[in-house]
Amino acid sequence: MGILTLGVSVYVTACIIYATLSLAYFFLSQHKAFSCDSSCQKRVFFGLAGGGISLCFLLGNAILPQTALGGFAALPVILTTILGGWLSGLIALIITLASHGVALSDKFAIGLVFLILFAGKIWRKRPIIIALAIVFVILACRLGSMLLLDPTRFYTNIRLVYPQMVYPLMECLCFFITYFALVVKKEYVEASISMKDFAMIDSVTSLNNRKRIDQEIIKLSSETQSFGVGLIDLDDFKQVNDRYGHLIGDRLLFETAEIFRSTTRSRDFIGRYGGEEFLIFVRNADPLTVYQVCQRIRAAVANTLFLANSPQPFKLTVSIGVGMYHAGDDLMTCIHQADIALYQAKRRGKNTVVMANGAHRFNTVQFWED
Ligand SMILES: Nc1nc2c(ncn2[C@@H]2O[C@H](COP(=O)(O)OP(=O)(O)OP(=O)(O)O)[C@@H](O)[C@H]2O)c(=O)[nH]1
């Protein structure tokens, strides 16, 4: 094979590897960047994509010369392991080893490479030197086996030696191109996701901000499962601000938000609705559970000594108004009902949870006494 044709083959191969893995990576990174810590299904999918590339090389071996197939088939396995961790790598490895077209010695070398990657947990470190060293190991293995098995042919027929020298170098080149292209892609995706997250976080409390709440409201407007809507308001916060200043006020808001985080489940949604008012969606819960969750939040705030290590520790309380959303309801009306319930809680002396009874029937609102 001429050097130009080989160069084109390497380029096409690099493009196939990069396009497939980066597409799979992008697809799996919709809300959170894909990594070795992603869900099992995602890692399996990524492994299938990696194995699919090897399969594509082996079945449609028109792109690469037969003698180079083994080394190039190892590349998706290495890259899949680096980006997706052991499970993705193992799946890509199984597909590669199970397919025809790779010499037994190459299969052995690819298996060995995976074991080294696995033992070194390369997905946690991603040191390119190790990965490159592995590609060179394949090169050395190939030359070594030729020298050992048929030394006379090796010395007398230079045309046989040439591919054994050139292909592994091309594999390294291909690895370099795809590795760096994928790392750049990964960093770009991670940066854009964290920027997006950052834009949705309230700077004072680190809870979801109003923009993110509005998104969640749109998302939950067509929800088919019932959930609770709680509006939480800090009691007499103006006095704190007036007496101790906004800086202390901000620190108290942050500590209160910490209590909300620690007293709710990860599947619940909580955000800063505005000023000293917070909105919580208690997911998949019946009215009694929602009421109990809100009581838990109220009690946790009331029992906390805020700014405990400062010379001026505080006691704070919250009032909570609760509404229930059921499939088909208008969520904004539900939030409005929670607001009315919050108003009732304030009127009844604060530090109270008031629930809009039968919040799905908006014309007959009654309130449960705390
Ligand atoms: N420090 C700080 N204060 C805020 C922030 N946002 C709103 N506030 C203050 O929260 C206070 C809310 O006051 P009010 O609406 O009168 O309510 P309240 O004093 O808590 O009284 P009740 O709601 O009736 O219990 C105001 O003093 C606002 O300035 C903020 O980001 N940081």
**Centre of ligand 1 from the C-alpha of residue 237, in Å:** 5
Residue 119: its pLDDT value, please? Answer: 85
By the 10 Å C-beta count (0-12 exposed, 13-18 middle, 19+ buried), 360 is classed as: middle
Model confidence at 368, pLDDT cuts 50, 70, 90, reads: very low
**Residue 323 domain flag:** yes
For ligand 1, what atom is nearest to the CA of residue 249?
1
- Ligand 1 within 6 A of CB of 321: no
Same domain, 131 and 15: yes
In the chain, the number of structural domains is: 2
In this predicted structure, which of 20-24, 228-232, 242-246 has the lowest mean pLDDT?
242-246
Nearest CA to ligand 1 atom 16: 238
CB 295 within 8 A of CB 282: no
Same domain, 191 and 216: no
- Ligand 1 within 6 A of CB of 273: no
Of 240, 254, 276, the one to substitute when testing ligand 1's pocket (max ligand atoms within 8 A of C-beta) is 276
In this predicted structure, which of 126-135, 257-266, 317-326 has the lowest mean pLDDT?
126-135
CB 9 within 8 A of CB 174: no
Query: Between residues 85 and 9, which one has the greater pLDDT?
Result: 85
Mean pLDDT of all residues in 210-236: 94
**Centre of ligand 1 from the C-alpha of residue 318, in Å:** 12
- Ligand 1 within 6 A of CB of 116: no
Residue 156: its pLDDT value, please? Answer: 67
In this predicted structure, which of 8-22, 49-63, 315-329 has the lowest mean pLDDT?
49-63
Q: Residue 104 sits in which domain range? A: 3-196
Taking every pair of C-alpha atoms in the chain, what is the biggest distance, in angstroms?
100
Same domain, 98 and 239: no
Mean pLDDT of all residues in 295-302: 96
Same domain, 259 and 364: yes
Same domain, 168 and 230: no
Dist. CA 97–CA 77, nearest whole Å: 10
Same domain, 165 and 305: no
**Centre of ligand 1 from the C-alpha of residue 249, in Å:** 9
**Residue 202 domain flag:** no
**Centre of ligand 1 from the C-alpha of residue 275, in Å:** 6
Q: How many CA atoms lie within 13 A of 345 on its CB side?
A: 30
DSSP 298-331: HHHHHT-EETTTSSS-EE--EEEEEEEE-TT--H
In the predicted structure, residue 3 carries a pLDDT above the cut 80? no
**Residue 312 domain flag:** yes
ipTM entry: 0.92
Q: What is the pLDDT of residues 40-50, one digit of tens each?
A: 999 999 999 99
**Centre of ligand 1 from the C-alpha of residue 32, in Å:** 34
Of the candidates 187, 167, 190, which has an alpha carbon nearest to the alpha carbon of residue 75? Answer: 167
Which CATH number does the domain housing residue 329 bear? Answer: 3.30.70.270
Same domain, 182 and 265: no
Same domain, 36 and 179: yes
Same domain, 7 and 113: yes
Q: What is the pLDDT of residues 28-41, one digit of tens each?
A: 998 789 999 999 99
Name the domain boundary from 196, 218, 239: 196
